[in-house]
Amino acid sequence: MALIQPGRIRVVKQATTRVEESGPVVYWMFRDQRLRDNWGLIHAVDEANKANVSVVVAFNLFEEFLGAKARQLGFMLRGLKELQRGLEETLDIPFFLFEGEAVETIPRFIAECGASLLVTDFSPLRQVRKWNEEICNCIGDSVSMHQVDAHNVVPTWEASPKLEYSARTFRAKINKLLPTYLIHFPILPPPNRKWVAEFPLTDWDNLIAHVLRKGAEVPELEWCVPGEAAAFQLLSGIKDGFLSKRLYNYSTDRNNPLKPKGLSGLSPYLHFGQISAQRCALEARSLRELHPQSVDAFLEELIVRRELSDNFCFYQPHYDSLLGAWEWARKTLMDHAPDKRQHLYTCEQLEKAKTADPLWNASQLEMVHHGKMHDIGCSRMYWAKKILEWTTGPEEALSISIYLNNKYEIDGRDPSGYVGCMWSICGVHDQGWQERPIFGKIRYMNYAGCKRKFDVDGYIAYVKRLGRNQEEESRKRGRSSIEGISDLKIRDSRDTE
């Protein structure tokens, strides 16, 4: 019996020639960096066992990927270090870490070890898709290539065959497929055939030190412990786990700035694939009788909204530009591009949180120093919309918001980040609203509206406290804070230069 539903796998390439190879199945891991609940790994082991060959995991560390700095790379590599140990100790599977261009390292490795099957995971981002295509063209005719969507509960290509207009159109499709895909994971069988050659040694400490030096501009976060074990603690740990301690108030507390733990906090782990969204959904669903509203709200975000982002990036080639907006939104934004702005800020001024709006500055500083902007009362949306109001036009606003989001957010460089910016600035997945200056028909948000929605002053005070604590921590550890943005005082319109 197949361990994995056929719809989760795409046969990208079927080998056309057969050779009597007994090389391993190679799983090129990219987006789903975990041992547990990983459909990519399950499929690789399953195929290896059927062919009676061994299985290996390969990971390629790129010289540069979407501007990742020490914050993101440190988190990722520490997670991978834990993963390597887990793979070797529990499954006897070797983990090969390559550096450079995957289009060179992966095909070379496949040729060297005589593999006949390459398994990859799935990301809708264009760079990753291009690498997949190039690798597919480079591996010989005797190698098949399978892609597994191990990230989404419902595989993106199964959820919908087209670009969805909104959550409303997507929700019905996803819900119909949940009985098929939101199922328990099979127990991962150990590989029948072991890898007989030497296990690779990775000098993690040196590698991590190198990426931290190189990306020092955006330092690592103290509060966000990387790895699968930490992810599971956060999901359901006894002490402060989301499901064990915080879920019951999710539907109300997530909009309260004085309760920063009102949200799950899972996005960094979901982004790096250190936890499976399907696992989170299964565990949450099992508590539905106790907390129906919170579970429904969480599943809406975790499945519908998150997977709608993958749908957008998969089917919309212009997912990070004005060209990716619907016609009505493009027109209204361009009609209002010449409108007079009360303030015009440069990217540098925005990056350094030097605006006249204390709420915006607080959000920006929370992101820069804490690495995750709390999404209370839609503050991420407010943050992005204000950039539209304060820059020369929608294209510039979009590019600045994506640049800042990718650079500082620990969960940045994710389809949900691109879609979050596109939703806020270009009305993607939204509808038209009453026309007004600059925004046209794009949904408008202002300071007064936020004040009605949540305790703005409480949030600003919270970010100030956060800044003070962090400065103290950095001093204790002899670390400097982010260059040029070390001023954690939040300016407001009453501040003088």
Ligand X SMILES: Cc1cc2nc3c(=O)[nH]c(=O)nc-3n(C[C@H](O)[C@H](O)[C@H](O)COP(=O)(O)OP(=O)(O)OC[C@H]3O[C@@H](n4cnc5c(N)ncnc54)[C@H](O)[C@@H]3O)c2cc1C
List interacting residues with ligand X (CB under 6 A).
Answer: 254, 263-267, 270-271, 301-302, 305-306, 309, 375, 380-381, 384, 405, 409, 411-412, 414, 416-417, 420-421, 423-424
Are 190 and 91 spatial neighbours (Cβ–Cβ below 8 Å)? yes
Please identify, using beta-carbon distances, which residue of 56 and 263 lies nearer to ligand X: 263
Whole-number minimum distance, CB 43 to ligand X, in Å?
A: 23
How far, CA to CA in Å, does 483 sit from each of 156, 234, 486, 488? 40, 31, 6, 12
Q: In 10 A of CB 126, how many CB atoms? A: 13
Please identify, using beta-carbon distances, which residue of 263 and 353 lies nearer to ligand X: 263
Q: In 10 A of CB 4, how many CB atoms? A: 17
Whole-number minimum distance, CB 424 to ligand X, in Å?
A: 5
Are 18 and 113 spatial neighbours (Cβ–Cβ below 8 Å)? no
Whole-number minimum distance, CB 351 to ligand X, in Å?
A: 15
Please identify, using beta-carbon distances, which residue of 47 and 220 lies nearer to ligand X: 220
Please identify, using beta-carbon distances, which residue of 265 and 273 lies nearer to ligand X: 265
Whole-number minimum distance, CB 344 to ligand X, in Å?
A: 20
One-character DSSP codes across 196-230: -SPPPP--HHHHHHHHHHHTTTSPPPSS---SHHH
Burial 22-44 (b: 16+ CB within 10 A, else e): ebbbbbbbbbbbbbbbbbbbbbb
Whole-number minimum distance, CB 297 to ligand X, in Å?
A: 8
Whole-number minimum distance, CB 195 to ligand X, in Å?
A: 34
Whole-number minimum distance, CB 268 to ligand X, in Å?
A: 8
Please identify, using beta-carbon distances, which residue of 43 and 369 lies nearer to ligand X: 369
Please identify, using beta-carbon distances, which residue of 57 and 270 lies nearer to ligand X: 270
Whole-number minimum distance, CB 214 to ligand X, in Å?
A: 22
SS3 track for 227-247: CHHHHHHHHHCCCCCHHHHHH
Q: What angle do CA 195, 196, 200 make, to 5 degrees?
A: 70
End-to-end CA distance of the chain: 70
Please identify, using beta-carbon distances, which residue of 309 and 481 lies nearer to ligand X: 309
Q: Measuring CA to CA, which residue among 193, 20, 191 is closest to residue 114?
A: 20
Residue with tokens 């909104």: 166
Burial 306-324 (b: 16+ CB within 10 A, else e): bbbbbbbbbbbeebbbbeb
Please identify, using beta-carbon distances, which residue of 128 and 136 lies nearer to ligand X: 128
Whole-number minimum distance, CB 272 to ligand X, in Å?
A: 10
Whole-number minimum distance, CB 231 to ligand X, in Å?
A: 11
Please identify, using beta-carbon distances, which residue of 67 and 114 lies nearer to ligand X: 67
Whole-number minimum distance, CB 48 to ligand X, in Å?
A: 31
Whole-number minimum distance, CB 304 to ligand X, in Å?
A: 9
How far, CA to CA in Å, does 272 sit from each of 204, 301, 437? 18, 17, 39
Please identify, using beta-carbon distances, which residue of 420 and 440 lies nearer to ligand X: 420
Contacts of 268 (CB under 8 A, 6+ apart): 75, 224, 274, 372, 410, 411
Rounded Cα distance between 413 and 174, Å, is 24
Please identify, using beta-carbon distances, which residue of 306 and 491 lies nearer to ligand X: 306
Amino acid code (one letter) for 44: A
Rounded Cα distance between 456 and 451, Å, is 6
Whole-number minimum distance, CB 15 to ligand X, in Å?
A: 36
Contacts of 94 (CB under 8 A, 6+ apart): 56, 57, 87, 88, 195, 199, 200
Are 150 and 276 spatial neighbours (Cβ–Cβ below 8 Å)? yes
The 8-class DSSP code of residue 195 comes to P
Rounded Cα distance between 47 and 205, Å, is 33
Are 283 and 241 spatial neighbours (Cβ–Cβ below 8 Å)? no
Please identify, using beta-carbon distances, which residue of 169 and 486 lies nearer to ligand X: 169
Please identify, using beta-carbon distances, which residue of 95 and 269 lies nearer to ligand X: 269
Rounded Cα distance between 405 and 331, Å, is 25
